[in-house]
Amino acid sequence: MVSILSFDSRSMKSILDESNKAYFTPEYPLFYKNKMPKSNNKDKFFYRSAIDSALRTNQVSAIATMIEYIILYQNNFVSSFMFKNNFTELLEKGVELSHLIEAKIFKF
């Protein structure tokens, strides 16, 4: 659901609101890369996360909300793969990344 609604900042803030905290657990991550078929060749695939989708639609506020969630509930090295190809683009868009860099995500 998060991957589908990542294009809308208001939806992301509503889903990841603290009032839903009872449903959040590190055991079941909300953010991961989805395997998607390429449109011109169904035998080839690419991987896209909700952060990638939000970047494509220029939803900086939604990205900031997602990063806050990832730091709180998915704070481990496995989550670093979501930022492997889009870290420079996040910097260019002006997304606050200091908390992300200080988290356990990039420390192995």
Dump pLDDT digits (tens) for 5-19.
777 888 889 889 999
Sort strands 45-48 and 34-37 into parallel, antiparallel or unpaired.
Answer: antiparallel
What tens digit of pLDDT does each residue of 47-104 get? Answer: 999 999 999 999 999 999 999 999 999 999 999 999 989 999 999 999 999 999 999 9
42 belongs to a structural domain = yes
The number of domains in the chain is: 1
**Residue 79 and residue 105 in contact, taking contact as beta carbons nearer than 8 Å:** yes
46 belongs to a structural domain = yes
69 belongs to a structural domain = yes
56 belongs to a structural domain = yes
pLDDT given at position 1: 64
3-class DSSP state of 39: coil
2 belongs to a structural domain = no
| Cα(33)–Cα(79) distance, integer angstroms | 10
58 belongs to a structural domain = yes
1 belongs to a structural domain = no
Domain housing 92 = 9-106
pLDDT given at position 42: 77
